[in-house]
Amino acid sequence: MASAIFTLMFLATMMLLQLMAVAQTDGSKPVGASITANDDAPSWLSSSGEFAFGFRQMENKDYYLLSIWYEKIPEKTVVWYAMGEDPTDDPAVSRGSKVELTADSGLVLTDPEGNRIWSSGGFLGTVSSGVMNDTGNFVLQDRNSDRLWESFTHPTDTLLPTQIVEAAGIVSSRRTETNFSLGRFQLRFLDDGNLVLNAMNFPTKFAYDEYYTSGTSDDSNSSNSGYRLIFNESGYMYILRRNGQRSYLTEGTVPTDFYHRATLNFDGVFTQYFYPKASSGNRSWSSVWSKPDNICVDMRSGLGSGVCGYNSICDLKADKRPECNCPKGFSLLDQNDKYGSCIPDFELGCRSDGLNSTEDQYDFTELTNVDWPTSDYERYRPYEEDECRKSCLNDCLCSVAIFRDGCWKKKLPLSNGRVDIGMNGKAFLKFRKGSVPLDRPPLPLPGDNKKPDTKLITGSVVLGTSVFVNFVLVGAFCLTSSFIYRKKTEKTPEGGSCLETNLRYFSYKELAEATNDFKDELGRGGFGVVYKGTIQAGSTKVVAVKKLDRVVQDGEKAFKTEVQVIGQTHHKNLARLLGFCDEGQNRLLVYEFLSNGTLANFLFGSFRPSWKQRTQIAFGIARGLLYLHEECGTQIIHCDIKPQNILLDDYYNARISDFGLAKLLAMDQSKTQTAMRGTKGYISPEWFRNKPITVKVDVYSFGVILLEIICCRKSVDLEIGEAENPLLTDWAYDCYVNGTLDVLIGDDTEAMNDMSTLERLLKVGIWCIQEEPSLRPTMRKVTQMLEGVIEVPAAPNPCPYSTFSNYYQ
């Protein structure tokens, strides 16, 4: 009997403990619960423990931010925070502040003296409890579990999966990375169905012109306009239209088993990030996609300073985030705000005593492809470069002259400064001679042709110190120079060349060992054989090593040029070059290894890939080609775009490979005559007619690949016989004209259910394969048409005058 009672007591105790454990971890807190800001402040966790609500300590340890963050990430990334009554004030609160859950006002934040700073408020009903959900949403609910208020409907700078933004919804950036007060940028979902990004001013919060728009409004058909922004639980973000169609913002395939967030960064770039939940691998936030593609160039509002402050220059970094620099002769107005305005270190203006701007007083810093496009007050055309320089130099109002399609004179303050490689012009920035102190050299800028006089700076330091210190400095300088010289000599292999690049140099012996004596062959291409290997770069890294053969005869100088250009290209849709080998006749390139192989294997295998994956791959290829043609420092025509040269990374994002190995063009060249290159089925007509080769040859090849992506069949398939339409380009156009798209895609129900996208992609493909190169769109226009930003007109017959089908027979 006693044993039975003991057993029952034990079971009852265990059940009670389980109930207590559930009560402690369901994320729910009753009215009256509170947290006080101090070093030992607890937080309210969600049931999974992934999100926390409470006070996050700031860099100044005496201040705290009432916020929600990722608890299981070491960085404790903040995804929501309480803004004060005046959002332009820093929302950080002092030690001893308190947040309490109340029945009538919900969450109430007070300072140490008990004064109310912020409350959730603004709801009808009585709060019974607050719940920190596993989605990152903090919810206030009544006794019937009805929602009265939730953080998801009051976003700050971040959106999370399962979060929805309705019409008129706004997401605002923070002021800086560490200052959580209201910033200058907004993501707004307009009533007309468009999602836009814009800057605004203080204190009126007047919105400037958009620098990004989703293009999801439809004036002619309101039932087709967007009405809701959805970030679904799988990590895809899209605009839901009123007719049920979806316009995706997310690019590529979203990785699973990762944390996701979409943040409007303080510099105006809206980015979706992912972070691995597993403890292994790269433990940092990585970008899935971002808008806009180049905020420095896309920011075109005539009002405001632009991305950076006045008189500053915006340059895009590899991660698509802007970097701001003051030009020569200018310095930051606030030394603690590197994104702020710059002020001249000299007086520039018109004086009543007649001592105005002259050639004896001022000089220019010459910058390539730099502009402040909204600060013009004069334009001279036609005008020569020397005339432009002199006109500004002798004009006391002129602070900078831009020579591009004439002469543009600009005055202070300069706004919307940016580096724009598509500008094809020069900026002559005026500064007073002798105004820049030697101990504060200007920040280096792209295109700056005047380098600091290192010898003069070094001399001034040496002459201004004691004899003993001078002796030590001179000795250290000699030893350092000798060491650097020896290091450079050691790193140059016998018979090799010293290439000035940030790529890693490999010896032939290293790569032979890395590839197990070149035994694991991955594939063969027009430029050589590719082998799989492993290298040590902090950790063991799998790589693809391409052994070049055809470029050897072009000589050492050509190889150097090719490797330098390839090494300077950085885009998420290009295969990344990690290093190279240049030893005598042995020339090899080392690329990142992309685990999912080629697009050819992906498209033409046993199973048809999903329509969603295929369309995202097509968009990625287009963006990569756009970068090669218009956005990288040296224009690159690929000349051999085909599915075998499109690789897929871990998340099935398209990566173009073998770029830069066919032909490089300087920015001032647009045409070249060359021997035929490319692969049967993807070669444009101009190759056969000895016509000038331009970027339009890549557009043609892309068009063929786009049709292959739509149909999942090869462009030339002689195995199926002539009667079965072996030439895809002809067959695709016939199906388009006859309206038999169902025949073209077979039993692909997923594509048939997305008929508007299918028709759009098919028309873009046919435009790209036009026989006349001038009719083919640029890759910029192709990208815009694919994404639905601009309308795609009806496609004409691609071969109205002749046919070159016999080449493929």
**Contact partners, residue 653, CB within 8 Å, separation at least 6:** 252, 253, 572, 573, 616, 617, 620
Q: What is the pLDDT of residues 145-201, one digit of tens each?
A: 999 999 999 999 999 999 999 988 999 999 999 899 999 999 999 989 999 999 998
Report helix, strand or coil for 96.
coil
Question: What are the residues facing 200 on neighbouring strands?
Answer: 207
**247 and 349 inside one domain:** no
pLDDT value of residue 434: 62
**648 and 675 inside one domain:** yes
Inform me whether the pLDDT recorded for 506 exceeds 50: yes
What is the DSSP code (8-state) at residue 53?
Answer: E
Torsion region of 383: left, alpha or beta (phi above 0 gives left; psi -120 to 50 gives alpha): beta
3-state secondary structure 238-300: EEEECCCCEEECCCCCCCCCEEEEEEECCCCCEEEEEEECCCCCCCCCEEEEEECCCHHHHCC
What is the DSSP code (8-state) at residue 326?
Answer: P
**429 and 575 inside one domain:** no
**Contact partners, residue 688, CB within 8 Å, separation at least 6:** 676, 804, 807
781 is in an annotated binding site: no
Band the pLDDT of 545: cuts 50, 70, 90.
very high
On the 0-12 / 13-18 / 19+ scale of CB atoms within 10 A, 145 is exposed
**Contact partners, residue 637, CB within 8 Å, separation at least 6:** 628, 629, 662, 663, 665, 672, 693, 694, 695, 697, 698
What is the DSSP code (8-state) at residue 151?
Answer: G
- Would you give the distance in Å from CA 620 to the centre of its chain? 13
Alpha-carbon Rg for the chain, nearest whole angstrom, is 31
pLDDT value of residue 630: 86
Has residue 269 been placed in a domain? yes
Inform me whether the pLDDT recorded for 497 exceeds 90: no
Has residue 209 been placed in a domain? yes
**382 and 422 inside one domain:** yes
**92 and 164 inside one domain:** no
**512 and 588 inside one domain:** yes
Has residue 101 been placed in a domain? yes
Q: What are phi and psi of 5, to 5 degrees?
A: -65, -40
Question: What are the residues facing 477 on neighbouring strands?
Answer: none
Mean pLDDT of 609-632: 91
Out of 315, 395, 640, 658, the active site residue is 640
| Strand boundaries in 555-674, DSSP class E | 577-583, 586-592, 636-637, 646-648, 654-656, 663-664
What is the DSSP code (8-state) at residue 442?
Answer: P
* Domain C-terminal end among 592, 610, 641: 592
| Residue 486 host element (H or E) | helix 467-491
Percentage, residues of the chain above pLDDT 70: 79
- Measured CA to CA, the distance from residue 128 to residue 29 in angstroms comes to 9
- How far CA 808 is from CA of 251, 362, 718, 722, in Å, comes to 35, 65, 9, 11
**638 and 676 inside one domain:** yes
Q: What is the pLDDT of residues 557-604, one digit of tens each?
A: 667 667 877 887 888 899 988 888 888 788 889 998 998 889 999 998
Q: What is the pLDDT of residues 356-393, one digit of tens each?
A: 667 777 888 899 999 998 889 999 999 999 999 999 98
On the 0-12 / 13-18 / 19+ scale of CB atoms within 10 A, 691 is middle
- Measured CA to CA, the distance from residue 490 to residue 649 in angstroms comes to 36
**439 and 413 inside one domain:** yes
Whichever domain contains 774, its CATH number is 1.10.510.10
- Closest listed residue to residue 81, CA positions, set 154, 140, 147, 32: 154
Q: What is the pLDDT of residues 415-426, one digit of tens each?
A: 999 998 878 899
Has residue 499 been placed in a domain? no
Has residue 466 been placed in a domain? yes
First to last CA, the chain: 94
Q: What is the pLDDT of residues 79-132, one digit of tens each?
A: 999 988 778 788 999 999 999 999 999 999 999 999 999 999 878 889 999 999
Compute how many other C-beta atoms are within 10 angstroms of the C-beta atom of residue 384.
Answer: 11
Name the average pLDDT for the chain. Answer: 81
Whichever domain contains 536, its CATH number is 3.30.200.20
Whichever domain contains 84, its CATH number is 2.90.10.10
CB 367 within 8 A of CB 329: no
Question: Which residue segment(s) compose the domain that 528 sits in?
Answer: 504-592
Inform me whether the pLDDT recorded for 762 exceeds 60: yes
Tokens describing residue 528? 């050589």
CB 388 within 8 A of CB 403: yes
**271 and 343 inside one domain:** no
Q: What are phi and psi of 449, to 5 degrees?
A: -90, -5
- Measured CA to CA, the distance from residue 597 to residue 605 in angstroms comes to 12
Inform me whether the pLDDT recorded for 629 exceeds 50: yes
Question: What are the residues facing 64 on neighbouring strands?
Answer: 57, 93
Compute how many other C-beta atoms are within 10 angstroms of the C-beta atom of residue 103.
Answer: 12
- Domain count for the chain, please give it: 6
User: The whole model's pTM is what?
Assistant: 0.55
pLDDT value of residue 451: 37
Mean pLDDT of 661-688: 54
Has residue 21 been placed in a domain? no
* Domain C-terminal end among 439, 461, 491: 491
- Measured CA to CA, the distance from residue 471 to residue 507 in angstroms comes to 40
**797 and 654 inside one domain:** yes
Active site residue 640: yes
| Helices 755-768, 728-738: crossing angle, 10 deg rounding | 130
- Measured CA to CA, the distance from residue 252 to residue 290 in angstroms comes to 12
- Measured CA to CA, the distance from residue 260 to residue 92 in angstroms comes to 25
Tokens describing residue 377? 């007050």
Has residue 300 been placed in a domain? no
**365 and 464 inside one domain:** no
Please identify which residue in the block is written with the tokens 């498209």: 603
Band the pLDDT of 665: cuts 50, 70, 90.
very low
Inform me whether the pLDDT recorded for 353 exceeds 80: no
**162 and 131 inside one domain:** no
Mean pLDDT of 645-674: 66
* Domain C-terminal end among 491, 517, 545: 491
- Quickly list DSSP for 613-641: HHHHHHHHHHHHHHIIIIISSS-EE-S--
Mean pLDDT of 319-338: 88
Inform me whether the pLDDT recorded for 334 exceeds 90: no
Has residue 14 been placed in a domain? no
